Structure 1
Amino acid sequence: MLQEFKRVKQEPGVSGRRRWFQGAAMELIVWLDTDEQPEGFQICYTGFGQQEHALTWKRQSGFVHNRVDTGDTRPDKNLTPILVTDGAVPWERLRRDFFEVSEGVDAALRQFVAARLAEGGR
């Protein structure tokens, strides 16, 4: 089940705030505007082959799907993880998994994210 980190460090000089929820197999980060309305979110999850992925939605641009390149391909060279473009989004799996783990997210926010996921892939 997703549980919220209560003291999330906010970015200085940025209006609005972010909320961060974490569970065993999924993380949800939500960006809120100054009116506390969602302007974006990111769902991080483990995909096939145990590779980490990130699905990001922003009000202005819609969805972007990435794979996390950990930069740890060599033991003598530890690089910073970065997001790289990735292929198809497993929409049905993400919808199902989000529904199963999001009981701890307040109802309005949960419904908002679920509605965006329902629009995805169509």
Structure 2
Amino acid sequence: MFNEFSNVTQSKGSSGFRRWFCHKTMDLVVWHDEAGSISGFQLIYDKDWNPRAFTWTGRYGYLHAKVDEGDDGWTPRSPILVPDGILPYEALLGSFKELARSLEPHISNLVELRMRDYAEARGLA
């Protein structure tokens, strides 16, 4: 099950807010606009092995990326998102549904819908 972090640092100058849900294998960050509606989310999965991110925002659409953690052994760098391959839709959806039972339905339903839309548009579902 996901656990929600309390007291998540909010972006300065932003009129909205974000919520952060975590599990040992997956994180979900949900962005809300000033009215409280969901404006986007980022689902980070395979955190302990090969972290990747599935992101959707109403403004920019979809992104599936690998998390380059910036650890080359010489100098520490900030993690960045870099293009990645095919979204493992069926496996990711199954894993997400198991953890999502602890989320509010409007959040889990939106994440599932956006994942399905992305997969269908690319012939993955």
TM-score, normalisation: structure 2: 0.89
Instruction: Report the equivalent of 1:80.
Output: 78
* CA drift at 1:61: 2.4
User: Residue 70 in 1 paired to residue 69 in 2?
Assistant: yes
Structure 1 ranges of 4+ moved more than 4 A: none
User: Residue 93 in 1 paired to residue 88 in 2?
Assistant: no
RMSD: 1.5
Q: Name the SS for the 2:119 alignment partner.
A: coil
* CA drift at 1:60: 2.2
> For each residue in 1:40-66, what CA deviation from the matched residue of structure 2 results, as whole angstroms up to 9, or x when unmatched?
00000117x921101100112221011
One-letter identity of the residue aligned with 2:67 = V
User: Residue 106 in 1 paired to residue 111 in 2?
Assistant: no
| 19-28 or 87-96: bigger deviation | 87-96
Where structure 1 has 5 or more consecutive residues not aligned to the other structure, the ranges are none
Higher relative contact order (CA 8 A, sep 6+): 1
Q: Distance in 2 between matches of 1:15 and 1:63?
A: 22
Q: Distance in 1 between matches of 2:89 and 2:57?
A: 17
Q: Name the SS for the 1:10 alignment partner.
A: coil
* CA drift at 1:39: 0.7
Q: Name the SS for the 2:90 alignment partner.
A: helix
* CA drift at 1:34: 1.2
Instruction: Report the equivalent of 1:51.
Output: 50
Identity percentage of aligned residues: 36
* CA drift at 1:70: 1.3
Q: Distance in 2 between matches of 1:87 and 1:56?
A: 14
Instruction: Report the equivalent of 1:41.
Output: 41
Where structure 2 has 5 or more consecutive residues not aligned to the other structure, the ranges are 121-125
Q: Distance in 2 between matches of 1:80 and 1:12?
A: 20
